[in-house]
Structure 1
Amino acid sequence: MTAQQAFNQLDPNKWAETSVIERLALLEQVQKNLKSFAVELGEVDAKMKNDLIGANITSTAEGMGTTVMPMANTLMGIHKLYESLVEGKMPEPISTVEIGADLFEVQVFPIHSKDKLAAAKQKGYLHIEGKPTQTNPLDKPAGIIAVSGAGNYSSSIEMAMALFLENKAVIHKPHRLNEATDAIWEKIFAPLIEAKAVAFCDASQGREMSTLEGIHSIYFTGSTEVAHAIQNAASVPLVSECGGNNPCIIVPGKWTDKDIKRQAIQLASVGKLNGGAVCCRPQTIIT
């Protein structure tokens, strides 16, 4: 399908007018479909990677880990948000503390029971300049976001975020490496395709999608060079993730040899995961 044909299939106003309860029902259908197609996603992703290197190294379980799990976790978080919206309220943080002049620390993790079980002693904070406020995603204007899928992962969580957090309909274009998994994602997102909230176009449609008239913005994950090319061709905002040099910062503390060894194993493991093509893989150690 061409990018223009995909664009023509969407009805962003209809999606924006879809009630919270209807969205929650659609979300649950997608979650159910994801569970049904989980093994197939893992098999297809593993085959693609094994074919690239000419060796049977990546297992179905690893394929599932890099396709199913990112989307499953994202959809679970969105489900929690929409459960709150059904009750007419936004999720509440654990705490909000002013820690400086107009600087606030907001604890947002762990909130839910499963998070608390998995978190152990971990806590998650946001540091925000200015008094923190929340925006209901349903209050955001209708529109269409074009998502250009990544090459290192075939799980496009940007689709779900654009749909449920930005209140936008979505065109999704896969990376050429992930065309086979994208065919499965079409089956998983079928309820939203029927709702005219999602449409998929061919991997060859990158330039055409970037220059579509009427889109709100473009989400892109990939190289800096391609991001600049999209930016030069497009007339709408580009939200891009182009990698970077992520630090591992070791702060002073009473660390034991066991603590250091555990973290070293973590760093080495994430460096090998997915061939090292992991968005937040630490590459520099700062002490």
Structure 2
Amino acid sequence: MIEMTVETTDVRADRIAAAARAGATAWSGVTLTQRREMLQQFAGLVERHASEWVRIATGIKGIDPASPAVGEEWISGPWATLYYAGHLLQTVAKMEAGGTPTDGFEMRAVPGDRVAVQVLPHSVWDRLLLSGFSAEVWCEPGVSETEVRASAGLGLRAPADVHGTCVVLGAGNIFSIAPLDALYVLYADNRSVALKLNPVTDALLPMFQAIFAPFIRIGAVQIFTSDLELGASVIAHNDIDAVHMTGSEATHDAIVWGPGEEGRANRTAGTPRLRKPITSELGGVSPVIVVPGRWSKRDLEFQARHVATMRLHNSGSNCVAGQVVVLSSDWAQKGEFLTALRRALADAPERPAWYPGSAGRVAAARDGVTPHEAVGGTPERTLLPVLDSGRDEPAFENEFFGPVLGVTELGGTGADFLARAIDFSNDRLRGTLGANIVAHPRDLRAIGSERLDEMLAGLRYGTIALNAWTAVGYLSPFATWGAFPGHTADDIQSGHGVVHNGLLLARPERTVVRGPFRPFPRSMATGQMSLAPVPPWFVHNRTAATTGERLVRFSIAPRWRKLPSVFASALRG
């Protein structure tokens, strides 16, 4: 008779931590050349397994395989991962050749004694595939251009000096988050990775193991699923030096301070349970500031669909989802915009509110809020149209993480309204991950570029998107992704630290993304030289699935001959 031995939680934690320690030693012996080669192998494996990745992802989320919503999984899964890996490769190659990551990147002075690094567009492919979009990383006040260039590279500046081990707690909503976080810890923090998957993503374990095979072979990465008890045991283990997580503020606080009454007592006493470094991305309440102006009917419809996408992408289960639309009570077209927004929310294709607990969070968002409107689709799709900007509304404090969108109003027009909306967002909305601003180019010109930069400098968010969704910052490999600096462990809000940051900048403060107010060809009428059609991440895009897959196949080996098929699909969207 064969006896089966079942490992206890402590034994499993010991094994995982010991493997992480051995992996750190192995990673210290991997040269820049080898790290570049491993990243190239990783990218090839992502492309090879991309169809499998999307098939599993759509199964987890209950998406009809024939639905355009499959495009969300192509774009936010394998394409986001490939796009980042390809750009991180450029950084490693520059350092391998004796250069610095910022070689060839333009910088400019921005308000507050800051330096901004232009990170998008950077290549001809960026200029074509993301035509009209741009992004800058603004560094912390007082950091000179010389210092930015001299300090870029982080852990790759001394690859043999590995900084130990890290547990990465992978998110369960967007399936590129876990692999991208793991790559950042490997290359930027220069640590081995023990990647714990969210239970939602257990089915992706074999695929993730397949794409990380070059790193797993030497022990620099291990991937596992677990219950809460094992996860806590691994985090607390003496052989684990650091933690990185993407998740909720409540989960962060339970890890740092302890659960329940223990956590409250520890917080009061100022004695955290976790006594090792932790970085985190925790979401928050993201504003969508709509600057009043004179818009055409098509502008109203397009931007209403833009805002609906910010809320309904991934059924609203995004840390970067727009949650509170800030309108001007003095805007003559306010009613027209709200009518278009209701229609855009209602017309978005059906898909399940799939993330665990979504129905309960939607019910809680509706509780006691009058009026609240069911705006089509599943019963959970909800608009809260008259939130009082002068009250402490739950929508201002609690991240819904579901298909619920709130609307509030402030007085004013032009720069006066924008200044009020910035103050409201800074002071009344919890979290600092991302803020969106929608404004007609005519009204931006009236404000002036210098004053606009000054106003953006006063908006305390880790990513600011002007006529774009902050998710473009998430997708931009050289951009940073994370909360605005300054949160403390006892009031963590949207977290601490950044990821992505493909240039490995040492002291970034925020990313500022800009996009076209109108899609091509109407963009030309506003003086914006943008060839971008309706973006494939829009929830109303009819060819998102085809475009997403073609972007993946293009990214693994960019070629001019591949572009026509990408553009043909995108233009039909």
Normalised TM-score (structure 1): 0.88
> Which position in structure 2 is the counterpart of 1:27?
39
Query: Cα deviation per residue 1:98-155 (whole Å; 9 max; x = unaligned)?
Result: 3345322332221122112123232212222121423323136412121011121232
1:164 to 187, 196, 200: 187
Residue 230 (str. 1) matches residue 251 (str. 2): no
> Where in structure 1 are there 5+ consecutive unaligned residues?
none
Per the alignment, do residues 139 and 216 of structure 1 end up closer, same or farther by CA in structure 2, a change over 3 Å counting?
Answer: farther
Per the alignment, do residues 120 and 67 of structure 1 end up closer, same or farther by CA in structure 2, a change over 3 Å counting?
Answer: closer
SS of 1:201 mapped into structure 2: strand
> Which position in structure 2 is the counterpart of 1:112?
123
SS of 2:208 mapped into structure 1: helix
For the residues of structure 1 that align with 2:299 and 2:70, how far apart are their CA atoms? 31
> Which position in structure 2 is the counterpart of 1:277?
317
Per the alignment, do residues 44 and 172 of structure 1 end up closer, same or farther by CA in structure 2, a change over 3 Å counting?
Answer: same
C-alpha displacement of 1:201: 2.4
Residue 4 (str. 1) matches residue 14 (str. 2): yes
SS of 1:215 mapped into structure 2: coil
C-alpha displacement of 1:42: 1.1
Equivalent residues of 1:148, 1:175 under 8 A apart: yes
Residue identity in the other structure for 2:219: K
2:113 to 98, 102, 125: 102
For the residues of structure 2 that align with 1:44 and 1:252, how far apart are their CA atoms? 43
For the residues of structure 1 that align with 2:244 and 2:237, how far apart are their CA atoms? 14
The aligned runs of 1:245-284 (5 Å cut-off) are 245-251=285-291, 256-284=296-324
Per the alignment, do residues 3 and 270 of structure 1 end up closer, same or farther by CA in structure 2, a change over 3 Å counting?
Answer: farther
Equivalent residues of 2:170, 2:246 under 8 A apart: yes
For the residues of structure 2 that align with 1:207 and 1:82, how far apart are their CA atoms? 34
Quote the sequence identity (%). 23
Residue 16 (str. 1) matches residue 41 (str. 2): no
Equivalent residues of 1:39, 1:60 under 8 A apart: no
C-alpha displacement of 1:181: 0.5
Equivalent residues of 2:18, 2:239 under 8 A apart: no
Per the alignment, do residues 56 and 24 of structure 1 end up closer, same or farther by CA in structure 2, a change over 3 Å counting?
Answer: closer
C-alpha displacement of 1:182: 2.0
Q: How many residues align?
A: 284
C-alpha displacement of 1:221: 1.5
Residue 147 (str. 1) matches residue 168 (str. 2): yes
Per the alignment, do residues 249 and 27 of structure 1 end up closer, same or farther by CA in structure 2, a change over 3 Å counting?
Answer: same
User: CA-atom RMSD, angstroms?
Assistant: 2.5
The structure with the largest alpha-carbon Rg is 2
Per the alignment, do residues 14 and 268 of structure 1 end up closer, same or farther by CA in structure 2, a change over 3 Å counting?
Answer: same
Equivalent residues of 1:46, 1:62 under 8 A apart: no
> Which position in structure 1 is the counterpart of 2:89?
79
1:184 to 204, 207, 218: 207
Per the alignment, do residues 62 and 280 of structure 1 end up closer, same or farther by CA in structure 2, a change over 3 Å counting?
Answer: closer
For the residues of structure 1 that align with 2:66 and 2:317, how far apart are their CA atoms? 16
Query: Cα deviation per residue 1:239-282 (whole Å; 9 max; x = unaligned)?
Result: 12221111223457776554443232122123222111123112
For the residues of structure 1 that align with 2:282 and 2:111, how far apart are their CA atoms? 32
1:39 to 39, 51, 70: 51
Residue 63 (str. 1) matches residue 73 (str. 2): yes
SS of 2:47 mapped into structure 1: helix
Q: Which structure features the higher share of helix residues?
A: 1
Residue 135 (str. 1) matches residue 175 (str. 2): no
SS of 2:304 mapped into structure 1: helix
C-alpha displacement of 1:94: 3.5
Per the alignment, do residues 250 and 14 of structure 1 end up closer, same or farther by CA in structure 2, a change over 3 Å counting?
Answer: same
Equivalent residues of 1:94, 1:107 under 8 A apart: yes
> Where in structure 2 are there 5+ consecutive unaligned residues?
1-6, 258-272, 327-417, 419-573
Residue identity in the other structure for 2:124: S
SS of 1:170 mapped into structure 2: strand
2:243 to 198, 210, 218: 218
Per the alignment, do residues 56 and 31 of structure 1 end up closer, same or farther by CA in structure 2, a change over 3 Å counting?
Answer: closer
Normalised TM-score (structure 2): 0.46
